[in-house]
Amino acid sequence: MRLLVKRTNLLLTQYTGQFRPTMSMTTPIAGMATGSQFHKLATATKAAAATSAQPDIENDNRIMAATRPAQRQLPRASPLTDTFGRHHTYLRISLTERCNLRCEYCMPAEGVPLQPKSQLLTTEEVLRLARIFVEQGVRKIRLTGGEPTVRRDIVDIVAHLKALPQLENVGITTNGLVLTRLLLPLQRAGLDSLNISLDTLRKERFEQITRRKGWERVIAGIDLAIQLGYRPKVNCVLMRNFNEDEICDFVEFTRERPVDVRFIEYMPFSGNKWQTERLISFKETVQIIRQRWPEFQALANGPNDTSKAYAVPGFAGQLGFITSMTEHFCGTCNRLRLTADGNIKVCLFGNKEFSLRDAMRSEGSTEQQLVELIGAAVQRKKRQHAGNIIIISRSRSSRKSNSSSSRSSNSRSSRQIMNHPHQQQLRNCSTLTHINAQGKAQMVDVANKANTTRLASAEATVRVGEQLTKLIAANELAKGDVLSIAQLAGIMGAKQTSQLIPLCHNIALSSVRVQATLLESEHCVLLVATVRCNGQTGVEMEALTAVSVAALTVYDMCKAVSHDICITNVRLLSKSGGKRDFQRRQ
């Protein structure tokens, strides 16, 4: 530890040209050194009035409510103001899905499936969306992940964000592994604040929960941040039977260090096996601390703070409690989230997401359309996440909230929710090309698209069983030739697609081919449709309609013999000629 601090001082000398002496070390926590002079480096310390009587938690809540200033009311016309009058000025941007740790409550040891790079926002797209949000009223941006420091261009991203004239604060949430290398360049780029995730002050436990080494580097990163003038927030997820015996150690950590340690309530979800018994509530944690520091008292909070602030009088730092499970803070929520693949989330616990990436990449899209889409998303935000949190905390069987990246103010909480496979499915279903800014159905305007040759193919399978297979092969069904009539029905169905599917365009088709093949060994009919046109929009819906109608026709012609018929495997095989081609892998 002494070596790390010396290396930190050397870094400061090299980068700033100033010599900072190595701080004297004390060890109030077993196995860890602390700086006895850290309080001298803070720009200011919390002044807390002494109290003669020990306050209870209910009084603390009244104190915080009384000292909270009224939320500033902004014009309703803003796209960032929801139907409940909450104006969203804080945007969290996930820069990546990757992480260099494998925290056991966040993801499995082998990691999680990552999306193709082409599905993620490019740096240019991140900065473009950030600018649009800032122009609409966002004043604070926090960069998260995954782990944002794995991005090679993280320093450049911070510098470009700081160049936005109306943006007041750029922060980052990190696991701290590479801060001793990156923090000085980040500070020069303009980084205003940082949150560091650290769930234990013991090296062995760190390696246990993260499945990686690097505890010393995280501590050195916190110390470097303090020396550079930051007042870092240290985010700690409290877990019963893991780190509950370190609660007072974390309080002691604030004695001479001007840090804000924030205890985050553990959130059970399916990825961590719904271990509801691991939750340690805010009230229980305060009671534990007051057994050792009776004067531990509540501080004033800002109008949009997610953390309940507390401090021990005389300590350089303070404590905070993020009560996502037991006392939600939806009423003052001013946060929006942008995922790494370009979806806007208006609530961490909601499963509705709006794809800004798809809208931005579509032909002929304008920034005004993006603003309208953002406004439509904000308008759909609910008053609160309601019973979802209680359901999580009380029932292992409930899956309603799909909680997988959940601490609501930390990047790893977001990964808890967003990296869960079911949540990925929900997110990938969010395509909004047929929805206008008011959330109403609309036909897509293709007037500005170029005429190209569009081609699509689809298939469907009808399982008919052994008896019907023999009858179809011998053409002995009373209604006639099943395969020929199915082919004809498929062609007719393709030409009627715009009348069957409400928002499909009426397309002049160049050709429709439907193949109907009896697979006798498998007792099924395989239907394949190929549709072509020269136009401004694709024909995949025509191909899918063709095989669907053909399959229903097979059923209709065979049902007099048996109803044990199954239509299955209706799917698009390929499409080409548009902005995004598709080829199904076999």
**Do residues 545 and 552 make contact, with C-beta atoms less than 8 angstroms apart?**
no
* Strand arrangement of the beta sheet that strand 509-519 belongs to: 509-519, 524-535, 452-463, 566-576, 582-583
Q: Tell me phi and psi for residue 345, to 5 degrees.
A: -110, 125
Question: For every residue of 364-421, which 3-state class applies, written as one string?
Answer: CCCHHHHHHHHHHHHHCCCCCCCCHHHHHHHCCCCCCCCCCCCCCCCHHHHHHHHCCH
**Do residues 288 and 281 make contact, with C-beta atoms less than 8 angstroms apart?**
no
* 263: number of Cβ within 10 Å: 27
* Strand arrangement of the beta sheet that strand 233-238 belongs to: 297-298, 308-311, 318-322, 260-265, 233-238, 193-197, 169-174, 140-144, 90-94, 335-338, 343-345, 354-355
**Which tokens is 404 given?**
């997988």
Q: Which contiguous run of DSSP H or E holds residue 203?
A: helix 203-210
Measured between alpha carbons, how far is 155 from 38 in angstroms, rounded to an integer? Answer: 27
Measured between alpha carbons, how far is 416 from 389 in angstroms, rounded to an integer? Answer: 14
Q: Which is nearest to 282 in space by CA: 61, 49, 48?
A: 61
Hey, which residues are catalytic here?
A: 556
> Tokens 């018929």 map to which residue?
565
Q: Which is nearest to 98 in space by CA: 74, 115, 118?
A: 115
Q: Which is nearest to 320 in space by CA: 235, 395, 222?
A: 235
